[in-house]
């Protein structure tokens, strides 16, 4: 880039930053829809011991084009997952954490724990996309739901045979349909969590679930020591995905267009498949990375991938996984990564 | 003149001694505060002691200033000790430090933790902090909840915990290591809860936990099976924090141990007891007598509960059954076996009323399993063993001295116990270990198959069903047996009940356990010294003289000193001088 052109571009940017009111005061203050931010849920850092000290872990954020992370929570928040609600002018961020479900209504400036002691840890959160007062939480005791913004949480256990639920997702096409990755099976609710039915995946210890973007009948689940199980008919029949074997799979993610799927887990690296999920190949492995908990594809750039690891922070690729760089948060156990506007 | 005062004092002491009254508590409190106030270790306990005895005040203020500002600290241990120290010493603290203490509850996450003791500490801290600073909105609290919301939630959890504990039992029960982190927050709660009902409940819980300890206490030792324990506290019982609690409240062991290297507690002083010395809670005399009256041997049984099972279980809190046989010279106690607590379970032992260190003997199977940990913790299975190893250092060690194992079952009848092991093929640690302290006076391998041991006036007959080896270690001999289908029969005696050691051995020789075809049947029969015939099969019935033992008939507490039905919430303490009834449903205390 010619020096003059750099000056032309940089000077107005600097002036914009230095003008009163334009200082980048807080993470996410910029509401430019092009300025996506990356949120990372850091469960803990290597060497931290519960209760003895306030470790620097919680939720971190950075601009997509930046490399420096800043913390948007206080330290010492054992973070399992993230959730977000945006409709009109109402925006909410959620943190599924060891001490409950945290909610921010001011873009991460302040947080409030909205669950009480009955829910114990919250492992996964799904806000209803239409009604800001309705939120679902996955916990070791099953699914809880609030319809009054967290004042009252109701245990939605009808149909479950075991109580442990690691992950909860909502069908993007029907907000009454939810899926729960549970200890003994994948469960589905078609009545907004009131009742649940097991989908007889043919495996237990369901760790993660993904719904297809192209085929609404497509469901993929990651299993403890069982690789990936697939259904292409809405959960009526299941088969084992090829190539990935009996790996333990903590996360399955798809590219925004649904053309590619990615999976990560225990001691097997990052896996890739086309949108059918039938056959997988190892895309990347690093001897330093014992496990991958999170995979996220940039919604604007399918070549831009981020993975959250166990104790090695974030790794990042801008060429769809051919090469990788450290993405920061070293030492962090990163459970979820999301691009939010 | 001096004689005028001395005579009534002597008479009072004589009456007190006769009635089993503790006259030394106040002086022990003063001594504890004196020692703790000289402690150089930085903690809220030593800080509180310094402020109370007005020693080294500039240093005390500096510590409080530092600890209230340093946000590298936080969590449940911090929450209750900060507010407890603050409330105990508030009149002596400069204004600037008042503000810093208040700010500590705004700027740092008081993490709640993931165990029962964590939650007791956390919710006690939050309850008292919210009570201390009422009427403040969520922006003034780390969790965004108002004072009233925090107060209400903390109170609700504390009440729910009390109800659970008094109806189906404590989860982290009878822990020589962890009991102080239940007692200390309760002491603070009792001292400062403004609500008289919560204050009464805290008092009653202190009574209950201390009586629970007292019934199985022997000269500073917490006898029997324990839900959770650190290895050092298992192999050297008088080094456990429970011994410091016993010293303070029961006056036993008589010797101070702060500077005793042999017993030096891991955490130097178990300084949580400082809150006992600072506060107004006083042990009811009946509990003191329960802890110290060992004139008659007795059987004491309890029902406790397994910690919350979140995976791999059908019941959230299955019962855990305890059996304890107490004498003046030793206590033999056991849990019924299996996985009742993750990581740190101590299933059985015999502990001697001794001043020598390592005054205990026991066996275990050192089980390791991610599945075991995943029953209780929500994190990924693959990481749990490593995580736990980081915290507790020894979880995956084949030589560890604490373990719960699905392959271990016990059957105790008074002074005899049968341990059976059925270790599955392919298990990571396929052996059974036994701890034999070097402080034993004698350890003899008899041709009859018995191993006879003596420590002072206590005798042990230990019959291994399978071959074994001895491994010498620093403070003990490790008995190790490698057969997967395994077992041991143990009987304890004493000079008082059995005469000489030679007589004890001779009688045992004629009572070898019967275990023919053991690998197929996993069944043992044993005629005890009292004439009972015990018969026990792994995963089968436990029989005494042809009658099956029914654990389901176990009470919450049952023995000469304590009685409570499961589910009742009413605990009755009895001794020859009186009755004390704790009715948690009201709540009320009745003395007769």
DSSP state, A213?
A: S
Same domain, B137 and B254: yes
Same domain, B377 and B430: yes
Query: Does B290 map to a domain?
Result: no
Query: Does B293 map to a domain?
Result: no
Model confidence at B106: pLDDT above 60: yes
Domain of residue B574, residue span: 563-592
d(Cα B25, Cα B254) in Å, to the nearest integer? 12
Same domain, B420 and B355: yes
Last residue of a domain, one of B283, B314, B343: B283
* Cβ separation A54–B119 shorter than 8 A: no
Cα angle B175-B180-B184, degrees, rounded to a multiple of 5: 145
Write the residue in B118, B145, B391 that is nearest to A112 by C-beta.
B145
What's the confidence (pLDDT) of residue A10?
36
Q: What are the angstrom distances between the C-alpha of B437 and each of B56, B357, B478, B532?
A: 42, 9, 9, 29
- Chain A residues with CB inside 8 Å of B119's CB? 117
- Chain B residues with CB inside 8 Å of A57's CB? none
**Interface residue of A45, A50, A79, A93 to substitute, partner B, most B CBs within 10 Å:** A50
CA distance A206 to chain B (A): 11
The mean per-residue pLDDT over the stretch A99-128 comes to: 95
Residue indicated by tokens 């060891």: A98
Query: Does B2 map to a domain?
Result: no
pLDDT in tens, B25-42: 999 999 999 999 988 878
Q: Is the ipTM beyond the 0.85 threshold?
A: yes
pTM of the entire predicted model: 0.92
* Cβ separation B107–A123 shorter than 8 A: no
What's the confidence (pLDDT) of residue B355?
82
What is the domain partition of chain A in residue ranges? Answer: 9-20+38-146+328-341, 156-285
Pairing of the two strands A90-97 and A100-104: antiparallel
pLDDT in tens, B146-204: 999 999 999 999 999 999 999 999 999 999 999 999 999 999 999 999 999 999 999 99
User: Nearest-CA residue of chain A relative to B376?
Assistant: A140
Model confidence at A289: pLDDT above 50: yes
Query: Does B154 map to a domain?
Result: yes
Residue indicated by tokens 């191993």: B451
Taking a C-beta distance cutoff of 8 angstroms, is the pair B446, B452 a contact?
yes
CATH number given to A156-285: 2.130.10.10
Query: Does B288 map to a domain?
Result: no
* Cβ separation B112–A291 shorter than 8 A: no
Quick check: bond before A18 cis, omega within 30?
no
Same domain, B43 and B179: yes
Same domain, B221 and B346: no
pLDDT band at A74 (very low <50, low <70, confident <90, very high): confident
Query: Does B225 map to a domain?
Result: yes
Same domain, B276 and B340: no
**Is B391 part of the contact surface with chain A (CB cutoff 8 Å)?**
yes
- Residues contacting B473, CB < 8 A, separation 6+: none
Model confidence at B474: pLDDT above 80: yes
Same domain, B443 and B512: yes
Per-position DSSP letters for B309-374, written without gaps between them: P-SS-SSSS-EEEEEEEE-SSEEEEEE-BS-SSSS--B-EEEEES-SSSS-EEEEE-----HHHHH
Query: Does B1 map to a domain?
Result: no
Same domain, B279 and B421: no
Query: Does B46 map to a domain?
Result: yes
**Is B447 part of the contact surface with chain A (CB cutoff 8 Å)?**
no
CB pairs under 8 A between A and B: 104
Return the minimum-mean-pLDDT range out of A73-87, A259-273, B282-296, B500-514: A73-87
């Amino acid at each position: 880039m010619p020096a003059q052109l750099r000056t032309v571009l940089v000077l107005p940017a600097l002036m914009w930053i230095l003008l009163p009111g334009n200082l980048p005061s807080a993470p996410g203050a910029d509401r430019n829809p092009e300025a996506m931010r990356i949120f990372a849920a850091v469960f803990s850092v290597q060497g931290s011991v519960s209760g003895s000290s306030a470790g620097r872990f919680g939720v971190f954020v950075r601009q997509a084009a930046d490399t420096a992370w800043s913390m948007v929570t206080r330290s010492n928040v054992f973070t399992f997952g993230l959730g977000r609600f945006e409709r009109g002018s109402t925006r909410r961020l959620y943190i599924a954490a060891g001490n409950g479900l945290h909610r921010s209504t001011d873009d991460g400036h302040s947080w409030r724990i909205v669950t009480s002691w009955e829910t114990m840890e919250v492992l996964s959160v799904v806000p209803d996309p239409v009604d800001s007062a309705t939120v679902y939480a996955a916990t070791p005791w099953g699914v809880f739901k609030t319809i009054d913004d967290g004042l009252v949480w109701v245990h939605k256990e009808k149909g479950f045979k075991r109580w442990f639920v690691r992950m909860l997702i909502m069908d993007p096409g029907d907000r009454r349909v939810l899926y729960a990755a549970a200890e003994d099976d994948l469960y589905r609710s078609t009545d907004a969590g009131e009742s649940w039915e097991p989908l007889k995946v043919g495996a237990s210890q369901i760790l993660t679930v993904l719904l297809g973007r192209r085929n609404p009948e497509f469901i993929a689940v990651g299993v403890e020591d069982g690789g990936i199980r697939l259904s292409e008919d809405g959960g009526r029949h299941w088969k084992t995905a090829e190539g990935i074997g009996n790996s333990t799979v903590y996360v399955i993610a798809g590219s925004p267009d649904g053309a590619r799927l990615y999976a990560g887990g225990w001691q097997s690296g990052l896996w890739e498949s086309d949108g059918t999920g039938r056959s997988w190949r190892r895309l990347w492995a690093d001897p330093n990375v014992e496990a991958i908990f999170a995979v996220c594809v940039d919604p604007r750039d399918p070549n831009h991938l981020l993975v959250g690891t166990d104790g090695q922070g974030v790794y990042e690729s801008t060429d769809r996984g051919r090469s990788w760089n450290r993405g920061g948060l070293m030492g962090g156990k990163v459970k979820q990564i999301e691009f939010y506007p | 003149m001096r004689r005028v005062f001395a005579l009534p004092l002597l008479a009072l002491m004589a009456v007190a001694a006769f009635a089993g009254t503790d006259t030394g508590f106040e002086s022990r409190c003063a001594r504890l505060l004196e020692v703790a106030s000289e402690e150089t270790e930085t903690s809220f306990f030593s800080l509180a002691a310094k402020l109370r005895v007005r020693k080294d005040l500039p240093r005390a203020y500096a510590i409080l200033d530092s600890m209230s500002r340093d946000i590298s600290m936080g969590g449940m241990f911090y929450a209750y000790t900060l507010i407890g120290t603050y409330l105990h010493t508030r009149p002596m603290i400069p204004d600037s430090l008042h503000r810093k203490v208040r700010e500590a509850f705004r700027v740092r996450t008081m993490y709640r933790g993931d165990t029962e003791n964590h939650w007791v500490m956390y919710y006690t801290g939050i309850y008292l902090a919210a009570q201390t600073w009422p009427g403040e909105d969520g922006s003034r609290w780390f969790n965004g909840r108002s004072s009233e919301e925090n107060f209400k939630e903390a109170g609700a959890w504390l009440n729910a915990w009390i109800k659970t504990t008094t109806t189906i039992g404590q989860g982290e029960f009878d822990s020589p290591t962890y009991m102080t982190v239940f007692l200390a927050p309760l002491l603070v709660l009792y001292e400062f809860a403004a609500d008289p009902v919560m204050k009464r409940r805290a008092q009653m819980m202190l009574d209950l936990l201390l009586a629970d300890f007292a019934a199985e206490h022997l000269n500073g030792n917490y006898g029997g099976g324990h839900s959770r324990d650190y290895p050092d506290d298992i192999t050297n019982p008088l080094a456990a924090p429970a011994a410091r609690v016993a010293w303070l409240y029961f006056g036993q062991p008589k010797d101070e141990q702060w500077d005793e290297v042999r017993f030096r507690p891991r955490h130097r002083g178990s300084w949580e007891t400082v809150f006992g010395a600072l506060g107004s809670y006083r042990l009811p005399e009946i509990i003191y007598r329960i802890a110290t009256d060992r004139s008659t041997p007795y059987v004491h049984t309890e029902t406790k509960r397994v910690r919350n099972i979140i995976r791999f279980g059908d019941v959230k809190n299955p019962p855990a059954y305890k059996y304890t046989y107490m004498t003046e010279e030793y206590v033999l106690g056991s849990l019924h076996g299996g996985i009742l607590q993750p990581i740190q379970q101590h299933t059985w032992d015999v502990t001697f009323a001794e001043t020598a260190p390592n005054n205990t003997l026991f066996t275990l199977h050192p089980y390791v399993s991610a599945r075991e940990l995943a029953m209780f913790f929500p994190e990924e299975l693959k990481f749990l063993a490593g995580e736990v190893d980081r915290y507790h250092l020894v979880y995956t060690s084949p030589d560890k001295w604490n373990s719960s194992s699905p392959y271990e079952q016990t059957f105790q009848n008074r002074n005899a116990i049968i341990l059976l092991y059925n270790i599955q093929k392919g298990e990571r640690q396929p052996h059974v270990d036994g701890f034999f302290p070097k402080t034993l006076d004698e350890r003899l391998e008899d041709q009859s198959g018995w191993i006879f041991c003596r420590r002072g006036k206590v005798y042990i007959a230990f019959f291994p069903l399978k071959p074994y080896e001895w491994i010498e270690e620093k403070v003990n001999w490790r008995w190790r047996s490698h057969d997967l289908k395994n077992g041991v029969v143990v009987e304890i005696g004493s000079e008082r009940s059995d005469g000489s050691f030679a007589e004890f051995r001779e009688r045992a020789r004629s009572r070898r356990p019967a275990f023919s075809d053991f690998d197929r049947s996993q069944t043992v029969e044993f005629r005890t010294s009292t004439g009972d015939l015990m018969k026990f099969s792994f995963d089968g019935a436990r029989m005494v003289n042809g009658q099956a033992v029914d654990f389901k008939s176990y009470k919450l507490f049952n023995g000469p000193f304590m009685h409570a039905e499961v589910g009742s919430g009413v605990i009755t303490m009895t001794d020859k001088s009186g009755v004390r009834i704790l009715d948690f449903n009201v709540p009320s205390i009745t003395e007769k």
